[in-house]
Structure 1
Amino acid sequence: MADKNYESLKIENIVASGEIADSISLEEVSRQIDTCELNTKRFPGAVYRIEKPKIASLIFSSGKIVLTGIRKKDDLKAGLDIIISSLKNVGVKTFDKPNVAITNIVCSYDIGKQVNLNRVVVTLNLENIEYEPEQFPGLVYRIEEPKIVALIFSSGKIILTGGKNLDDVKRGLDFLEQKLDSIM
């Protein structure tokens, strides 16, 4: 796997979630932090956006947090540190060690050739495939190990989601390319 060229594999989004405090007064936080919005009629959490690194976080009164929009793994720690520091500055008692982990990595990849999706449907295991071209132009392929969902488009573009780390995404991509190579 290490010698394979993953040049066109691109992280589009990393989602992380976990717990950073026992409880958080969202009204207080949204009042004191400019880029933190609270509209409980529309959503039960506060939306706190930071610019560098660019991350949107959903903060809940239970102390739970979801971070999204992350493009590089290193940005997760940097962004989380900024968010926790901001919360501490407005009086939130956060955990010394927040329990936040990556829950999903979304990547795009281009295999560099056209894919006959109808042939893929006919050849591969139908239990793992959803393809309704009149509803959606991509084929959904569910890889069981690692647990990755691939959206395959006839252009050769692929979206991979469900991985918790880049190695899982790469293993899923390797599996998928093996399957596609056997068909093409």
Structure 2
Amino acid sequence: MIPKAIIQNVVSTAQLFDKNTLIIRIQQPIRSTALVFSNGRIVCVGTKSVKDSEIAIGHFVDIISSASSLPIRMRGFKIQNVVSSFAFPGHINLPALYDTMRIAPPTWLAKHISYNPEFFPGMCLRLVDFRTVVLVFTTGKCIITGARTEEEIFIVQNKIYNSILMFCKNQ
């Protein structure tokens, strides 16, 4: 059974019509941080779901509107990045996984695969048909980044899980 991937961070942006510059951190209703730039761009980070990100951005716009003498409107809400993580049931034999993926890559794997433990302790996998990057570590931890939706995270996880599970020690 594949463990459920846990969303760690969602990054979204929106465009404000007025120009502002500030950092806002809130704990309620959803813990998150907004970076508001002078060109009107607002970046929301730290939420745990796409829906929470939409709610948080709306809350940030309300905060900015209440501090402004002019009404603030928002346009162009867009999810930029969804990051999630999950763990395999044991440690991963990355050298064997790397050699196998280079010699006989699965259909889901793009040509880009990198593993150089002298520079970075994890293996970096890029998938065909997705702009996501999967980082796999010897501890069995796995990070999926670059997705635009939560569904994309779960699709990617389902594609990679069984191929990597074969290299899991201590199952």
TM-score, structure 1 normalization: 0.77
- Provide Cα deviations, 1:68-125, integer angstroms capped at 9, x if missing partner: 0111333212212221111111225322x53212111110111212211001111114
1:22 alignment counterpart = 17
Deviating 4+ runs (over 6 angstroms): none
User: Using a 3 Å threshold, how does the CA distance of structure 1 residues 82 and 59 change in structure 2: closer, same or farther?
Assistant: same
Query: Gaps (5+ residues) in structure 2?
Result: 104-110
2:101 alignment counterpart = 124
Displacement after TM superposition at 1:159 (Å)? 0.6
Contact conserved, 1:145 with 1:172, CA < 8 A, in 2? no
- Provide Cα deviations, 1:35-78, integer angstroms capped at 9, x if missing partner: xxxxxxxxxxx211111111111111211111101113332122
**AA aligned opposite 2:19:** I
2:24 alignment counterpart = 48
1:135 alignment counterpart = 119
TM-score, structure 2 normalization: 0.83
| Residue number among 93, 96, 108 corresponding to 2:71 in the alignment | 93
User: Using a 3 Å threshold, how does the CA distance of structure 1 residues 82 and 101 change in structure 2: closer, same or farther?
Assistant: same
**AA aligned opposite 1:84:** V
The answer as to 2:145 corresponding to 1:145 is: no
Query: Gaps (5+ residues) in structure 1?
Result: 27-45
**AA aligned opposite 2:94:** L
Which whole-Å CA distance do the structure 2 matches of 1:55 and 1:130 have between them?
Answer: 33
3-state secondary structure, aligned to 1:94: coil
- How high is the sequence identity, in percent, across the aligned residues? 23
**AA aligned opposite 1:51:** Q
**AA aligned opposite 2:151:** D
1:12 alignment counterpart = 8
**AA aligned opposite 1:87:** I
Which whole-Å CA distance do the structure 2 matches of 1:5 and 1:159 have between them?
Answer: 14
> What is the aligned residue count?
159
Q: What is the Cα-based RMSD across aligned positions, in Å?
A: 2.0
3-state secondary structure, aligned to 1:17: strand
| Residue number among 49, 52, 58 corresponding to 1:75 in the alignment | 52
- Provide Cα deviations, 1:153-179, integer angstroms capped at 9, x if missing partner: 112110110111111111111121243
1:58 alignment counterpart = 35
